[in-house]
Amino acid sequence: MTDREKLASLEDMLELDEGVLNEEMKLVEIEGWDSMAKLSLIVLMDDEFGKKLSGEQIKSFRTIKDILDYMG
């Protein structure tokens, strides 16, 4: 999966328009990055990437790139 496809998955999860997210964006600056988004990210990682994600790991994420790197 390409980084663009991963970004598209995140945009879909956050209900954002295509092309809104980029790797350098800080998570705290993204509208909709809340507790529900974090739960959705846990489900996305498990369903789409077969990876378990903890709350502590999510707390360590600062940018979209951090999430993309975790996706692999």
The pTM of the full predicted model, rounded to 2 decimals, is 0.92
Instruction: Identify the three-state secondary structure at position 26.
Output: strand
pLDDT (tens digit per residue) in 39-57: 999 999 999 999 999 999 9
The domain ranges of the chain are: 3-71
- Domain 3-71: what homologous superfamily? ACP-like (1.10.1200.10)
> What backbone phi and psi angles, to 5 degrees, belong to 26?
-80, 135
Residue, of 1 and 11, whose pLDDT is higher: 11
Predicted confidence band at 31 (pLDDT cuts at 50, 70, 90)? Answer: confident
